[in-house]
A and B are shown apart, each in its own frame.
Chain A
């Protein structure tokens, strides 16, 4: 037994098996095994306050309306007017334009809502955790969404703030790049926060309703904050993109671009930022792109997702959507 590894190849075979097992485990842990997480702090009732339309207009201020934001029985109002590229009812207006620019097809959604409660997020399978994934379509349908885009794919990383519906799920700052995250407050206003200089719980306490962590910020305080050299990680310059911006209170622009295909090259972050700036956005933020980029409207995928070589949707961790 003492000299078992002295014979040539015995140790090599044994060690190779150990390495193969270790590599398999690490790959499975990173890409496949679902790991359900729990909120770091259970949201207090007051943290779940969202101003509804009537409440926003009243002088009495915000009123607790927890049920209005959680698992509502979603339905489209009877008076909704729906066309192939638009939706309109008393509370939500969506118009989707298809634009050809930069050798790329862009899908630009102009969104106006009457209350922040209609701008929502959802987890895949309704559960927070790593490798818990669904397609944007499946999540949109299971949440009775009218319009949806992919979110920040938080479940593919172990860092980046995750705050959803006023509940803190992850407080590990994004260590790379600028560490910029997008906060949506209870009034539906978008703002850029620096995770490396912020405390996630303090954001919740100060009224953060959603925090999505991908980035970078494209426009902040009305100014473009990226240049031609800015890129996500080590990606190439042109990619499919998903981004959201705000023009004025409760008025948003969402842009999803095709890319990585013979028909569409994709956008650089600067080009994307310019699109938001030209439309008057004071804030805009880049969400997960590449194969994840998906825009879903009224039961159909609007863009051409570039998931590897197929044109199928990539399963992701979360969506941003509009609905009741």
Chain B
């Protein structure tokens, strides 16, 4: 087996593993919402009920696409920075959705939730920019490695 083939397998496993982790987090979010609802006296929160969409659409789906179509992770410059930044953003948005749900159900709110929203979207955007820059370099032939 060639070195590039081994690398390809490794990268496929990386994307696949990340996708599966995001799927597991999505399922956890759904289960958490259902269990929380048992103690909420019928009070519900759309924010909590829909928080699974962040890891599902923001995590599992993109990494499914990367798994299927993207170049190897170590072919894209600054991949690790993108990976950390983007995942951190999705995590911040998911946690914000969870906290907002808890507060809505309790009938209160927090002035600090906006910090999670801003940080989350900034990190997601920064991660996407980093990845697109890496892709640009990859396809323009420079193939700079992080």
Considering the complex, give the chain A residue whose CB is closest to the CB of B112.
A26
Give the residue among A6, A29, A235 with the most B Cβ atoms within 10 A: A235
- The answer for the CA separation of A300 and B59 in the assembled complex, in Å, is 55
Taking the complex as formed, is A117 at the interface, i.e. its CB lies under 8 A from any CB of chain B? no
Interface residues of B, dominant DSSP = helix
> Which residues of chain A from 76 to 98 have a CB within 8 Å of any chain B CB?
none
Give chain A nearest CB distance to B38 CB in angstroms: 11
In the bound complex, CA of A22 to CA of B114 (Å): 12
A157 in the interface (beta carbon within 8 A): yes
Inside 8 A of B91's CB, which chain A residues have their CB?
15, 19
Q: 1/0 contact trace for B31-66 toward A, CB 8 Å? A: 000000001011111000000000000000000000
Residue B99 interfacial (CB < 8 Å): yes
User: Chain B residues near A61 (CB, 8 Å)?
Assistant: none
Q: Tell me whether A26 and B110 are in contact in the complex, defined as CB-CB below 8 angstroms, given that A236-B41, A236-B42 are known contacts.
A: yes
Tally of contact residues, B, Cβ under 8 A: 29
Q: How long is the Cα–Cα vector from A246 to B106 in the complex, in angstroms?
A: 29
Please tell me if the beta carbons of A156 and B108 are within 8 angstroms of each other in the complex.
yes
A-facing residues in B89-114 (Cβ within 8 Å): 91-92, 95, 99, 102-113
Contact B80 A30 (CB under 8 A): no
Q: Known contacts A157-B107, A158-B111, A234-B45; is A27 also within 8 Å of B99 by CB?
A: yes
Residues of B within 8 A of A31 (CB): 106, 108
The smallest C-beta distance from B133 to any residue of chain A, in angstroms, reads 17
Contact of B107 with A29 in the complex, beta carbons under 8 Å: no
Partner of B112, one of A11, A29, A232, A260: A29
Measured between beta carbons, the chain A residues less than 8 angstroms from B102 are 27
Choose one: B39, B99, B104, B105; the contact of A26 (CB below 8 Å).
B99
B42 and A157 contact, CB distance less than 8 A: no
- Indicate if B75 sits at the interface (CB-CB under 8 A): no
Smallest CB separation, A122 vs chain B (Å): 21
Q: Are A233 and B107 in contact (CB under 8 A)?
A: yes
**A151 close to chain B: CB less than 8 A:** no
Give the most central of B84, B92, B106: most A CB within 10 Å. Answer: B84
Cα–Cα distance between A248 and B39 once the two chains are bound (Å) = 41
The answer to whether A239 touches B41 (Cβ under 8 A) is yes
B72 contacts A by Cβ under 8 Å? no
The 8 Å CB contact of B43, one of A19, A27, A159, A233, is A233
Asked if A290 is at the interface (CB within 8 A of a chain B CB), the reply is: yes
CB-CB < 8 A to B99: which residues of A? 23, 26-27
Inter-chain CA distance A25–B87, complex, in Å, is 22
Knowing A5-B84, A27-B99 are in contact, say whether A234-B110 is a contact too (CB < 8 A): no
The answer to whether B95 touches A235 (Cβ under 8 A) is: no
Residues of A with C-beta under 8 A to B116: 22
Given contacts A23-B99, A236-B42, 10 further A-B contacts (CB under 8 A): A12-B87, A23-B95, A27-B99, A30-B103, A31-B108, A156-B106, A232-B107, A235-B41, A235-B43, A236-B41
User: Which residues of B does A touch, CB under 8 Å?
Assistant: 39, 41-45, 80, 84, 87-88, 91-92, 95, 99, 102-113, 115-116, 146
Can you report 26 A-B residue pairs in the complex whose CB atoms are below 8 A from each other?
Answer: A12-B87, A15-B88, A19-B91, A22-B116, A23-B95, A26-B99, A26-B110, A26-B112, A29-B110, A29-B112, A31-B106, A31-B108, A156-B106, A156-B108, A157-B109, A158-B109, A159-B109, A233-B43, A233-B104, A234-B43, A234-B105, A235-B42, A236-B41, A236-B42, A237-B42, A290-B41
The 4 A-B pairs of least Cβ separation, nearest first, read A236-B42, A11-B84, A156-B108, A30-B110
